[in-house]
Amino acid sequence: MADLLSLHWGERIVGVEASVTPHAIRVRAAFSADRASIAADGELPDESNGLAAVLSGAGVSARQADVVLSQQDVVTRWLELPPVSDEDLPEIVRFQAGTKSTLSVEQLIVDYLPLPVSEDAETRSVLLATVAKSTVAEIVRDLAAAGIELRSLGVGSLALSDLAKTVSGSQDENDGLVVVADHEQLEVTVHQGGCTVLTHSASLSGEADPVRTAGQAISRALFAAGNSVADLNLDSAVLFGPLGEDLVDVVRGRMSGSQGDPRVDVVSLADTPLIDFQSQPPEPLLGSPALVAAIGGLLAANGQVVERVDFMDPHKPPPPERRVSNQQMLYVAIGLVVAVAVVYGARMVNESGYVDKITQLEKDVATQRKSFFGKSDSSTKLPSTSNVNGWNKKKVQWLDQLNELTPILSESGEVILTEVNMSQEVRQGLGRITVTGLANDRGPVTKMTSDIRGLKNYTVRPSKLDPNKDRQAAFKFRFNKVNILLDGKAKTPGVEKPKTENGQAQTKADPSSKEEAGS
């Protein structure tokens, strides 16, 4: 298979070109280059020790690079979140990242490692990672100047953790510690259940006693992990680098609170059977945190890591469902109503013998229209019109009711209807229309329901507004099942009730009134 190029991007650029299989990493070249970008005044730096020259001198043939960032360019932190689903996790993590960063979330690229969560847990956690977009743009530009395309962008501390777990095999499911240190830099990662929950970095450059300084930094990392992560029980540690042997007792002492005697392994890149150097790097580079991270980055680049941080392809919410406008929803609803009306009307006409009456009325209308348009006085009602009005008084015309509601439901773009349902009782002239939708404010929903209540034929039952959990969050509220009840046709003006013998208006008990009185 083709060789992979992995770079650790820190104060210096440290990289390896290697072929990777599930059981071996064969390093063909290891190198270090100055991190020299275009200066602020636009002048080009001295390229004699730059990346392009170093790649050419090392005989690197790969034209794509997988980069892992040092702690100076990336921020990682453990986050505790509500028990949301995996689909909702990217949105809430992005929101939390914006509240905890000095930069606005629009200036950041946000990714995370989801941590295991039990079914009955009241919270869940992630390891958040953020990087400034300007930093990524700088890396892309500098690699392009060297003729290299950036394929993935991860976190160096996570990459060296992946390598440590693969080499030692002692932290796949347990809680543990990984320490990589030379005389210049210290990297510490803490694991729970095989997942990285904390990363820490410290500079040891210029320290008179680097072992003592490293011990203090390890203590700070363990203290922070203990305060953040519950039920952390460290029982193993993996040490890399020139200071590995000197830190064994220090690490054991810092882990003395664990149950039993913790296992501490010191690993050398030159001695592990997993890694084969075609030409062993010089001692200052061999075992350095940057080289360990660069080799660890090969595992993720080869697809051997289940979960990874990749700022070039961060975790994203699933694509939103297609939304339908109010007007389209109403057209569909009206189309369905008309279809039902045609089928139901045809059945009723055939069953009640109205076919002959309609045919006769059509003939009467044609005759009376000729007579009507031939006269100047048009105040007299047509007999056929009176008959149709009589039919309307006998049965609620629910198609007309929906026609009355259409302007109210679609007059404002501030309310989005997501569902319109009609109960079967509507076919008998009574029943309900249920609408569900989204809004950014309570006002438009209140106005819509008030306008519907203003009509004589409708009653709108109260409906609560719930916070909208839509992943796009374009609308803040969701109103669910606003029931528009059709109470019957309003009384026709001028029609008096029949009177009893004593002159009192005769009333007929309405079933709905009885129910209200008894409730």
Three-state secondary-structure class, residue 1 = coil
Name the domain boundary from 301, 336, 367. Answer: 301
Supply the DSSP symbol for 39: P
519 found inside a domain: no
Q: Looking at the domain assignment, is residue 376 inside a domain?
A: no
Burial of 451 from C-beta contacts in 10 A (0-12 / 13-18 / 19+)? middle
Same domain membership, residue 85 and residue 17:
yes
The domain that contains 28 carries what CATH number?
A: 3.30.420.380
The answer on 20 and 151 residing in a single domain is yes
Looking at the fold, whether 201 and 325 belong to one and the same domain comes out as no
Q: Is residue 251 part of a domain?
A: yes
Q: Is residue 374 part of a domain?
A: no
CA torsion through residues 246, 281, 45, 109, sign? negative
Structural domain boundaries enclosing 402: 319-357+390-492
Q: Are residues 206 and 341 in the same domain?
A: no
Q: Are residues 297 and 326 in the same domain?
A: no
Count structural domains, the chain. Answer: 2
> Do 141 and 252 belong together in one domain?
yes
User: In whole angstroms, what is the distance from residue 178 CA to residue 163 CA?
Assistant: 10
Burial label, 295 (beta-carbon count in 10 A; 0-12, 13-18, 19+): buried
- Spatial separation of the C-alpha atoms in residues 88 and 318, rounded to whole Å: 9
84 in the same domain as 189: yes
Same structural domain for residues 324 and 228? no
| β-bridge partners, 66 | 6, 152
Give the per-residue pLDDT at 132.
Answer: 94
Do 95 and 193 lie in one domain? The reply is yes
Flag whether 339 is in a domain: yes
Q: Classify residue 500: in a domain, yes or no.
A: no
For residue 490, the model assigns a pLDDT of 40
pLDDT in tens, the chain (519 residues): 568 999 999 988 999 999 999 889 999 999 998 886 443 344 455 555 578 888 999 999 999 999 999 998 999 999 888 888 888 899 999 988 888 888 888 999 999 999 888 777 788 999 999 999 999 999 999 999 999 999 999 999 999 999 988 887 655 677 889 999 999 999 999 988 888 999 999 999 999 999 999 999 999 999 998 888 888 888 889 999 999 999 999 999 888 665 667 889 999 988 889 999 999 898 889 889 999 999 999 999 998 888 899 999 998 887 766 555 667 777 777 887 777 777 766 666 565 555 677 777 778 777 776 665 655 444 555 554 554 455 455 454 555 666 667 777 666 567 777 777 666 555 555 566 777 777 777 788 888 878 877 776 677 766 666 666 655 556 677 776 566 665 554 443 344 445 444 545 444 444 443 333 332
**CA-atom Rg of the chain in angstroms:** 38
Listed in sequence order, the residues at least 6 apart from 411 whose beta carbon sits closer than 8 Å to its beta carbon are: none
- The answer to whether the CB of 298 falls within 8 A of the CB of 19 is no
Q: What pLDDT is attached to residue 351?
A: 57
Report, in this order, helix, strand and coil percent for the chain, each rounded to 5: 35, 25, 35
Distance in angstroms (rounded) separating the CA atoms of residues 108 and 133? 5
Cα four-point dihedral sign 323, 329, 333, 336:
negative
209 with 289, same domain: the answer is: yes
Asked if 274 and 349 sit in the same domain, the reply is no
For residues 97 and 147, state if they share a domain: yes
Phi, psi of 78 (to 5 degrees): -85, 130
pLDDT at site 331: 76
Structure confidence at residue 517 (pLDDT): 36
Q: Is residue 224 a part of any domain in this protein?
A: yes
How is residue 384 written in tokens? 């056929």
Distance CA 321, CA 312 (A): 25
Question: Tokens for 67?
Answer: 């980069």
Residue 13 lies in a domain: yes
DSSP state of 206: T
For residues 305 and 162, the answer to whether their CB atoms sit within 8 Å is yes
SS3 of 449-500: the string is HHHHHCCCCEEECCCCEEECCCCCCCCCEEEEEEEEEECCCCCCCCCCCCEC
Give the pLDDT of residue 122: 84
